[in-house]
Structure 1
Amino acid sequence: MESRKLAVIMFTDMVGYSKKVQTNEEAALELLKEHNAILSKQIETYRGRTIKTIGDAFLADFDSVFNAVQCAVDIQKELNDRNRSVTPDRRIEVRIGIHLGDVIYRDNDVFGDGVNIASRIQALADGGQVFISHDVYSITLGKLSYEFTDLGGQQLKNITRPIHVYEVVWNPNQTTGIKRPGVHAANHSASWRRRSGVGVTVLAVLAALWYLLFINPASQKAASSRPTLALLSFSDQTQDEHLKRVHIGKIITDAMVQKFYEFPHVQLVSPIRLAKIARNFDISDEEISNSPDLAEKIGREANSRLMINGKLSKLGNTFILSADLNDLEEEKLLATFVVQEEMESSILGVLIDSLCMKFQQKITEVFKVKDSTATPFIRLEDLTTSSLEAYHHFVKGYELHVFGRSLEAIGEFEKAVALDSNFALAWSLMGCVYSFAKMEDRMPPNYLDKIQSFKDRFKGTSKEALIFRGNLGWVNNDEQLCFNSYRLITELYPDDREGYYYLALFQHYVKHNYAQAIEHYEKALMLSPDYFPLQRDRAYAVKEVRGVDEAVKLLQEFIRLYPNAPGVDLAREQIAELRSNTK
């Protein structure tokens, strides 16, 4: 049921939450719980309605402009009083934006320009500030006991007309005006965005430290010369039951990732890292795929220069794949491309191949890439599979693998290769997961023969090609090929745990260089601390260098910090095994 009406929309955002999560996740979640309780109480007090919460952000509506503004002020007053008695790291600071406009209500959600304007007004504010549009100001002027600071007309992103914005001066001692770094009085970018006090995201700071600490200067230069690209979730708008069942949006997203891994002129942001950022904000793939603002939020938190997101739709028998390429640094849309075909089989073929080619040509043009003709074109079918069912099981297996659920992941990969015996990527990753799970003895009898038959398919410098060649070197006892392939992953994809993990496994189980292995395990753990296979293998390496007691302590710390992570029971079994071997 859809309805349209005039409503007062309030957006809120908790300042610095991502930094708190990175510093102390448990404490951050406690603060988020307290934050949610305060805002929910005040919204209910002023007869507002919380439409939804997204991570640390609230979207609410009110029937009264006065109630909305008074609610926002009382939220700030309560938080201000609370913050006086706590240490800086325990403070809760919120920015709030309010707009009165025409909106559409549908399926317990709200849409329209009125919503977009409120969200972008909120993003102009800093912690402790309440910003309102002229429509709200004109009604409340002279009827509320607060002063207002005129912030002038603001050109908000994707809003065709300037929006006049005012600040509610609820505290006579507060410093008013637009204070956020990178936000200027006449120009503001996207909504739902968070920056730290020095104008960069926490993850950007971590990324900078990561480069300085772990990547050699030559690699830093090579990486920095390529723009980073975040490839966000594609949405399925086909209303096709079969495509819905196989999760076509996830398949397209993964297929695009594989294609851009083969494109050497961008540095692809690790999908594992993007997924972790989304989890920190409690944002689902579906929410990202259906909201350009949320997609941009994730892209900016990953400190990515470029972002691609899009959708698959269907008109009659025609499948339409469309997507945007945004430059987040320059805050502009670089290109929108649309491709269409009439066969479902074209999705894992000409549709994705054509779309990727258009984007890659645009990137080479914008960034003046030299020798772009030397970049080979590789069909998606040669990289992956033409079977939607097989790809569906592959994506499920990969997601389970990322979360450390190895046995279930293996089952999905086995289904994928049963449907397409030439699905090389599925064979390669299945072998990795067997190895991670210490179940090599259960590999299919024809596994090594199949892997050898695919070696001509993996010749590039994509992450998957390097993993494949490294694994091939391992099984063929070619230590140089193994080492060089794994090392190159860490240099080309420095924000991805896989390269450090494989390099650690090589040093651990092939070279028996335990100190080097521990160093690489710990680099990988900085990116995925809750991934049990990493914790398990590091503990075995630590046992060789520092003894059983130190290994047990690491596993106990893993259980304490991540009690709900997959692998906790296996960690307890490993502790018992380590202790029994010392008796």
Structure 2
Amino acid sequence: MGENELDTYSALKSLISQLESTCTNFNGRVIEVRGDGILALFETATSAVEFGVELHRIASQHNQARPENQRIKFRAGVHLGEILIDERGIHGDNVNIAARLQEIAEPERVYVSAAVYDQVCNRLRYGYEFLGSRQLKNIISPVSTYCVRSEVSGATLAGTMRPDLPVDLLDRPDTPSVAILPFSSTSGDESDNWIAEGLTDDIIMNLSKFRNLFIIARNSSFFFKTQSMPPKEAAQKLNVRYIARGSVRRSANRIRITAELVDASTERTIWAERFDRKIDDIFDILDEVTECIVAATAVMIESHEKQRMVKSAPSDLEAYSSVLKGQHHIFKYTRNDNRKAQTFYQSALERDGGYARAAAALSRTLNIDWRYSWSEDSSGALEKALSFAQRSIELDPTDARGFGELGYVNLYRKEHDAALQSYQRALALNPNDADMHSDYADALAHYGDNETAITHLQQAMRLNPYFPDQYLWHLGGAYYNLRRYEDVIETVNKMNNPTEGQRMLAASYAQLGQTDLARQITDKHRTAHPNFSLSRWATVQPDRLEEDTQHLVEGLKKAGFDRA
């Protein structure tokens, strides 16, 4: 408005008018236009959520013709409950909750309450990311909140809270346990966030290589990024003893990093330090901060283990910057973000062809492209992923990431022994990598060693309490191979994304003789994935034992997946 009031008002008015007319297509009606937003009432929660997703599509289409700094983005909040109606409109606490959910929502996202989630989770083909109980302005009780993810595939891989996390999952380990909370950026510049995130990510990765430490995974640590929470409370949520946190401030060509390590049981800061350096010394700063945190926890580590912590740093600061910016996008697991991450990693390798971490990360983006058919040349993406994984290992044979990517590629090339060996090398280098434990478990299940797979998945969930749906997906697969159909059903029903687990769910109900329920789930899956081919899927499955593939095919046929 400040730059061009007339143009902004005209664009907003046009958008609001379009949303008003579209609302009726979803059995809704606009009650009131409030400045730059609308209050609408719908017949069902399903219609309200569908409209919420549609309004973002309309705004996105409108923005394509506008410069980046002139694009209009909305937030949406949806709640379900009784309301008061009079000649002036609709009122009451439930209306206020919807409004407050809209206020805390991220741009281009739909936030819904648990009441709405319960109604729509099995009706709409979206992913649902549990955000925990949120205290909303002027609302007495906290509201359990979910973010609707319209990109179904990505929601399976994105880390998320769990409404019903088992208590025994968070038993404190015997070894010293540490959570590195996201370092904050105090520069006031959004572009500096990548430095803070990158340093946090690297510290977690470096510390996780030590067998004598128990390190909470990145996904779970980063759930605390936007929460101002005392160290003791964060430690209680993750059930760890030590909390490390800090801040990053950049000014001209200098960078200042503050870090502290807190013993959460006593709330005592046992170590604190400030690092004031030239920005060109960022690699030395990372090593110094990591070393100090390790020393402060008084963990006795053999000298050869210390050497593993020294990663191959790039020769170019811009290459490092590109990798950190890529990390910001890759963990969002959407098609567009994966493509942006890919571009950043390619840029890093162009500037420094010997940067192993960039090669491994680029392999991961190509794997994701292959998994979700986001690339026009699907088979080519897998072959490229293989070459970059191999290149990463050649450049730095002490980095677990390259071996992890090689394990994933080999699994879907159906080279099972090579896949397991790669994962074993990766976990030997980095025994605290939660995602690596989960991926290794998936490979073990496809190999036929399901009991061992379950053990690794349990370890992954403890290291990463806010684990992605993928962990449950892998666990359900191991249970299905063992004919533990009730456990499959219980596991898959805990997924926040109800769509991606439906094949396994339908097959399990069918194997238990509950054919009607199985076929209902099959019909929902067919709506979400109309091009699904059972015969093609059977050829893609990387099972070593043909009997395992046929066992699942049998269940899917019983559930009606072979029907035209």
Give the structure-2-normalised TM-score.
0.50
User: Which of the residues 196, 220, 227 maps onto 1:273?
Assistant: 220
Please state whether the residue corresponding to 1:582 is helix, strand or coil: coil
Which deviations, in whole Å up to 9, do the C-alpha atoms of 1:278-337 show, x marking residues without a partner?
Answer: 4xxxx7x3x33xx352x6534421212222211101355421111111222343222112
Check if 1:374 corresponds to 2:305: yes
Check if 1:482 corresponds to 2:413: no
Q: Match of 1:371, as an amino acid?
A: E
User: Which of the residues 183, 193, 198 maps onto 1:251?
Assistant: 198
User: Which of the residues 287, 290, 306 maps onto 1:353?
Assistant: 287
CA distance in 1, matches of 2:500, 2:436: 10
Q: Which moved more, 1:539-548 or 1:306-315?
A: 539-548
Q: Match of 2:441, as an amino acid?
A: L
Which deviations, in whole Å up to 9, do the C-alpha atoms of 1:22-60 show, x marking residues without a partner?
Answer: xxxxxxx989999xx87999xxxxxxxxx9999544788
Task: Describe the shift of the 1:262–1:234 C-alpha distance in structure 2 as closer, same or farther (beyond 3 A).
Answer: same
Q: Match of 2:404, as an amino acid?
A: I
8 Å CA contact 1:555–1:575 kept in 2: the answer is no
Alignment of 1:112-511 (within 5 A): 203=165, 205-208=167-170, 224-240=173-189, 242-244=191-193, 247-274=194-221, 278=223, 285=225, 287-288=226-227, 291-293=228-230, 296-315=232-251, 317-343=253-279, 345-347=280-282, 349-363=283-297, 365=298, 367=299, 369-371=300-302, 374-382=305-313, 386=317, 387-401=319-333, 405=334, 407-421=335-349, 422=355, 423-438=358-373, 440-443=378-381, 446-456=384-394, 459=397, 464=401, 467-471=404-408, 473-474=410-411, 478-483=415-420, 486=423, 496=434, 499-504=437-442, 507-508=445-446
CA distance in 2, matches of 1:384, 1:32: 58
CA distance in 1, matches of 2:395, 2:425: 18
8 Å CA contact 2:243–2:264 kept in 1: the answer is yes
1:465 deviation in Å? 5.5
CA distance in 1, matches of 2:339, 2:503: 23
CA distance in 2, matches of 1:467, 1:270: 16
CA distance in 1, matches of 2:175, 2:414: 34
Identical-pair percentage: 12
Check if 1:582 corresponds to 2:560: no
CA distance in 2, matches of 1:234, 1:400: 19
8 Å CA contact 2:182–2:245 kept in 1: the answer is yes
CA distance in 2, matches of 1:580, 1:555: 7
Count of residues paired in the alignment: 363
CA distance in 2, matches of 1:576, 1:534: 15
CA distance in 1, matches of 2:531, 2:336: 19
Q: Match of 2:278, as an amino acid?
A: E
Alignment of 1:27-66 (within 5 A): 55-57=133-135
CA distance in 2, matches of 1:459, 1:540: 43
8 Å CA contact 2:393–2:403 kept in 1: the answer is no
1:498 deviation in Å? 5.7
Q: Match of 2:342, as an amino acid?
A: E
Q: Match of 1:263, as an amino acid?
A: F
Check if 1:530 corresponds to 2:496: yes
8 Å CA contact 2:183–2:248 kept in 1: the answer is yes
CA distance in 1, matches of 2:390, 2:510: 34
Structure number with greater CO (CA < 8 Å, separation at least 6) is 2
8 Å CA contact 1:235–1:311 kept in 2: the answer is yes
1:380 deviation in Å? 4.8
Task: Describe the shift of the 1:494–1:338 C-alpha distance in structure 2 as closer, same or farther (beyond 3 A).
Answer: closer
Task: Describe the shift of the 1:268–1:310 C-alpha distance in structure 2 as closer, same or farther (beyond 3 A).
Answer: same
8 Å CA contact 2:241–2:265 kept in 1: the answer is yes
8 Å CA contact 2:179–2:215 kept in 1: the answer is yes
Please state whether the residue corresponding to 1:310 is helix, strand or coil: strand
Q: Match of 2:192, as an amino acid?
A: L
1:419 deviation in Å? 0.5
CA distance in 2, matches of 1:581, 1:307: 52
8 Å CA contact 2:208–2:433 kept in 1: the answer is no
8 Å CA contact 1:324–1:336 kept in 2: the answer is yes
CA distance in 1, matches of 2:497, 2:433: 15
- Tell me the equivalent position of 2:470: none
8 Å CA contact 2:410–2:418 kept in 1: the answer is yes
Which deviations, in whole Å up to 9, do the C-alpha atoms of 1:522-549 show, x marking residues without a partner?
Answer: 5996797235796267469869977997
CA distance in 1, matches of 2:244, 2:532: 42
Please state whether the residue corresponding to 2:331 is helix, strand or coil: helix
RMSD: 5.2
8 Å CA contact 1:353–1:379 kept in 2: the answer is yes
Task: Describe the shift of the 1:575–1:336 C-alpha distance in structure 2 as closer, same or farther (beyond 3 A).
Answer: farther
Larger Rg: 1
Task: Mark the runs of 5 or more structure 1 residues left unpaired by the alignment.
Answer: 1-28, 42-50, 61-71, 76-91, 95-200, 212-222, 560-567
- Tell me the equivalent position of 1:63: none
- Tell me the equivalent position of 1:184: none
Give the structure-1-normalised TM-score.
0.49
Task: Describe the shift of the 1:455–1:317 C-alpha distance in structure 2 as closer, same or farther (beyond 3 A).
Answer: closer
CA distance in 2, matches of 1:301, 1:536: 31
1:413 deviation in Å? 3.1
CA distance in 2, matches of 1:515, 1:426: 26
User: Which of the residues 468, 475, 478 maps onto 1:516?
Assistant: 478
8 Å CA contact 2:393–2:399 kept in 1: the answer is no
CA distance in 2, matches of 1:456, 1:248: 27
Please state whether the residue corresponding to 1:581 is helix, strand or coil: coil
1:390 deviation in Å? 1.8
